[in-house]
Chains A and B, each alone.
Chain A
Amino acid sequence: MYSENYRPTEQLASHEFELYFGPNHPGIEGNYALKVRLNGDQVVKITADGGYLHRGFEKLMEERLWIQNVALVPRICVPDPVPMEETYARVVEMLGGLEVPERAQWIRVMMLEMSRICAHIFTFGGNAATIGQYSNMFWGVSDRDRILDLFEEVTGARVYHMYVTPGGVRRDLPDGFLARLSQLLDYLDARLPEYEDLFFDNPVVQQRGKNVGKMTQEQALEWGVTGPNLRACGLPYDVRRNDPYLVYEQLEFDIPIEQGGDVFARMLVRRAELIQSIRILRQVIEKLHVIKGAVRRCHLPNPLAWNIPEGDAYARTESSKGELAFYAVSNGTAKPWRVHVRGPSSMHAVQVLEKLCIGQRVEDIAQIMFSLDACPPEVDR
Chain B
Amino acid sequence: MVDTLIYLLIVIIKILIIMVPLMGAVAYLTLAERKVIGYMQIRIGPNRVGFYGWGQPLADAFKLMFKEIVIPQNSDYFLFFIAPMLCIAPALAAWAVIPFADGLVLSNINAGLLYILAMTSLGVYGIIIAGWASNSKYAFLGAMRSAAQIVAYEIAMGFALVGVLMAAGSLNLSEIVKAQNGSLIHWYWLPLFPLFLVYLISAVAETNRAPFDVAEGEAEIVAGFHVEYSGMLFAVFFLAEYANMILVAALASIMFLGGWLSPFQGTPLEATFAFVPGIFWFLAKTSFFLFWYLWIRATFPRYRYDQIMRLGWKVFIPITLVWIVLIGVAVLLKLPPWFV
**Are A and B bound to each other?**
yes
Chain A residues proximal to chain B, CB less than 8 Å: 1, 17, 19, 25-27, 41, 128-135, 138-139, 142, 198, 202, 204-205, 207-208, 361-367
CA–CA, A142 and B40, complex, Å: 12
| 23 A–B contacts, CB within 8 A, in A order | A26-B218, A27-B219, A27-B220, A41-B305, A128-B301, A130-B219, A131-B219, A131-B302, A132-B219, A132-B301, A134-B41, A134-B298, A135-B298, A202-B299, A204-B211, A204-B302, A205-B301, A207-B303, A361-B304, A363-B220, A363-B221, A364-B304, A365-B220
CA–CA, A366 and B137, complex, Å: 17
CA–CA, A1 and B74, complex, Å: 6
Q: Which of B43, B218, B306 contacts A132 (CB 8 A)?
A: B218
CA–CA, A362 and B221, complex, Å: 8
Is B198's CB within 8 Å of the partner chain A? no
Residues of B within 8 A of A364 (CB): 304
Is B307's CB within 8 Å of the partner chain A? yes
> What 1/0 mask marks residues of chain B from 34 to 70 whose CB sits below 8 Å from any chain A CB?
0001001111000000000000000000000000000
In the complex with contacts A19-B137, A19-B138, A138-B43, A204-B218 CB distance below 8 A: no
The answer to whether B307 and A207 touch across the interface, beta carbons within 8 angstroms, is: yes
Residues of A within 8 A of B307 (CB): 207-208
CA–CA, A25 and B222, complex, Å: 7
The answer to whether B141 and A133 touch across the interface, beta carbons within 8 angstroms, is: no
Nearest first, the 6 closest Cβ-Cβ pairs linking A and B are A27-B219, A132-B302, A138-B41, A133-B301, A131-B301, A363-B220
Is B214's CB within 8 Å of the partner chain A? yes
Q: Give the contacts of B270-324 with A (CB-CB under 8 A).
A: 298-307
The answer to whether A132 and B211 touch across the interface, beta carbons within 8 angstroms, is: yes
Considering the complex, give the chain A residue whose CB is closest to the CB of B220. A363
> Closest Cβ of chain B: how far from A290's Cβ, in Å?
36
> Closest Cβ of chain A: how far from B238's Cβ, in Å?
17
CA–CA, A133 and B221, complex, Å: 15
CA–CA, A260 and B298, complex, Å: 28
CA–CA, A41 and B137, complex, Å: 11
Residues of A within 8 A of B217 (CB): 132, 363
Residues of A within 8 A of B210 (CB): 132
Considering the complex, give the chain B residue whose CB is closest to the CB of A366. B219
Q: Which of A1, A26, A142, A204 contacts B219 (CB 8 A)?
A: A26
Given contacts A134-B298, A142-B42, 7 further A-B contacts (CB under 8 A): A131-B219, A132-B211, A132-B217, A138-B42, A204-B300, A208-B304, A364-B304
CA–CA, A205 and B304, complex, Å: 10
> Closest Cβ of chain B: how far from A159's Cβ, in Å?
20
The answer to whether A202 and B220 touch across the interface, beta carbons within 8 angstroms, is: no
Residues of A within 8 A of B304 (CB): 207-208, 361, 363-364
Residues of A within 8 A of B138 (CB): 19
